[in-house]
Structure 1
Amino acid sequence: MKQMDRPRTQVLLSWSSGKDSAWALHRLQQDPTIEVVGLFSTLNQEFERVAIHGVRKQLLMQQAECLGLPLRTLDLPWPCSNEYYARIMTAFVAEVVAGGIRHMAFGDLFLEDVRAYREQQLQGTGIQPLFPLWGSDTTELAQTMIAAGLKAHISTLDPKKLDARLGGHEFDQTLLAALPAGVDPCGENGEFHTLAVDGPMFLRPLAIEIGETVTRDGFVFTDLLPVEPTHAQCG
C-alpha cells in the first residue's frame, strides 16, 4: 500500500505588495512541503493605501487576484501608534491561530531589529515566523529576481537617498546601475519600495499605468494606477 503523503505546512504570507514579498512567495512556492494559503497586508485607513508602499487598495486587490491567492487587509489609522498596531496584530494572530494556521512568513532580508520585533510579537502566540529570504546577498538577489522575470515599479522612495525622478521606474538593470553607492540594491534600508506586477509567482501580469509623483512627509510617492476599465484586470 502506498504511503500517504504528509500534509503540507500551511503558511500565511505578510504581503507588502512589493518585490521582496513577491520573491518570498516564489521561494515558498518552490518548497513542496509548504502551501501558501493566503496573504495579509496592512493599509493606511485614511488614504486606503498599503502602509509605507503607498499602493492603492484597488491595485492590491487586483494584484492578489493575479496571484490567485486570498488577501486579508488590516486597516490602520493614521497616524498609528506602536501600541495600536500591536493590538490590531494580536487580534489578527489570534484569529489566524483559531483558524488552524501555525506559520506566518515575512520577506525580510537582513534587518536584525525588524526580525527580532516580529519574533517577539509572535512569541507564545502559537505562530512560528518564517523568513525565506533571510541572509540573502541583496546584490545577487536583485540580479536573480530580474533574471527570473520579476517585474516591479518604484512606488515610494527616500529623496535623501535616491533621485526623485526614479519614482515609478521599473526595477531593472537600468535602475540598479543608477543607484548611488551605499544604496541597497533591494532597498532593504528603506531607500525605495515597489509594487510587483509580474513574475514567476503570478498567474498573469497586473496591468498598471504610471501616475503623478508627489512629495509628502519627506518621501516621494508615485501613484501607480489600475488600467481602465477599473474592474479587476490582470494584463
Structure 2
Amino acid sequence: MRFIALVSGGKDSCYAMHLTALDGNELVGLANLKPEQSGETDSYMYQTVGQDAIDLYSEAMEVPLFQRTIKGRPLNQEMEYENCVDGDEVEDLYELLADIKKSVSYEAVSCGAIHSNYQRVRAENVCERLGVKLLSPLWGREQGSLLKEMIDSKIEAILIKVAAMGLDPSKHLGKTIAQMYDELCVLRDKFGINVCGEGGEYETLTLDCPLFKKRIIIDQQEIVQHGHTMDEFAPVAYIQPIKMSLNEKIIKNGNGKAS
C-alpha cells in the first residue's frame, strides 16, 4: 500500500514509519502537525518539541512533507472519539490528511502509538472517515524490548525533553536512547516510568534512521526550562535547536571501512 507517515520528530513515529516501509509498503509523504510557535505547547495528541527538525526529515528522505498548524485544543477528552467536535485538535489531523488526499493518492497512514488508546482511537476515527487504513506496527509491544529493537535497528534519537522523576536535564538531555537504555530500565523498576516515554516521561528527536539518506546535526541549541520553577523531584526542561543541518551519512563497506 501507498502510505503517509505521521511524524512528530520522535523515535516512535519514525520507527513505525520504518517498519511499515520494511513490510513492503511505499512511503509517499510525511504528515506533521506543528504548533504556532517553536517550543513546547500543551497537546494531548501531538509532540510539539523538536518541530524545527521536521523540514530536514523531508530533505533527508527525499519525500514530500505536508504540514498544518495546530489550531484546535483537546476539547473532547473522552476515551472514545465518536462525535467530531469543531475546534478539537483531532480535527486538525483530519483536515491535514484530507488536504493531502487532494494531491497524493494513498491507502494507509502509519502511526507510532504503543499503548495510548487515547491517541490510537482518534487516529482510527480520522482514518475511517477518510477511507484509509491505520497502520500501528508498535501497538501493544512490551516497551523494554521495543526500545532495544529501535536501538538495534539503527534509530539514533536523543532525549529532547525530560519530565519524570529520576531524569535530570543537566545529565540526560541530549543523550541517545542507546546511552539511556540501561538507566531507563532502572527507572522503570524503581519509579514505574514507561521505558519508551509514552507516559510523557521524556520525548525524543530522531537524528538518523535507516530511511534517512542524510543525518541531522544540531549545530546550536539552548536548554529551556518549562514553566516558571523547576520541580525538585521531576524537573521539566527541553532542548530548543537554534541551528541544524544535514550531513552525508558514512557508509561502511564489507571491510568495515568508511566510503
Question: Deviation at 1:139?
Answer: 0.8
Question: Deviation at 1:138?
Answer: 1.5
Count of aligned pairs: 219
| Counterpart position of 1:95 | 99
Matches within 5 A, 1:15-164: 15-32=7-24, 34-47=25-38, 52-57=47-52, 59-77=53-71, 80-82=73-75, 83-99=87-103, 100-160=105-165, 162-164=167-169
199-208 or 154-163, which moves further after superposition? Answer: 154-163
Whole-Å Cα distance in 1 between the matches of residues 174 and 35 of structure 2?
A: 20
**TM-score, normalized by length of structure 1?**
0.82
Aligned 8 A contact 1:18 1:194 in 2: yes
Structure 2, gaps ≥5 residues long:
76-86, 228-234, 249-259
The answer to whether the aligner puts 1:171 opposite 2:177 as a matched pair is yes
Q: Which amino acid aligns with 1:74?
A: R
Distance 1:35 1:49, change over 3 A: farther
Aligned 8 A contact 1:161 1:183 in 2: no
The answer to whether the aligner puts 1:13 opposite 2:5 as a matched pair is yes
Deviations 1:135-154 (A, max 9, x none): 22211111111122211111
Structure 1, gaps ≥5 residues long:
1-8
Whole-Å Cα distance in 2 between the matches of residues 192 and 156 of structure 1?
A: 5
- Please report the RMSD computed on the Cα atoms of aligned residues, expressed in angstroms: 2.4
Question: Deviation at 1:68?
Answer: 2.2
Whole-Å Cα distance in 1 between the matches of residues 14 and 154 of structure 2?
A: 12
Aligned 8 A contact 2:20 2:135 in 1: no
Q: Which amino acid aligns with 1:65?
A: E
Q: Which amino acid aligns with 1:110?
A: H
Paired-residue identity, %: 21
| Counterpart position of 1:191 | 201
Q: Which amino acid aligns with 2:108?
A: H
| Counterpart position of 2:226 | 216
Question: Deviation at 1:161?
Answer: 5.8
Q: Which amino acid aligns with 2:175?
A: H
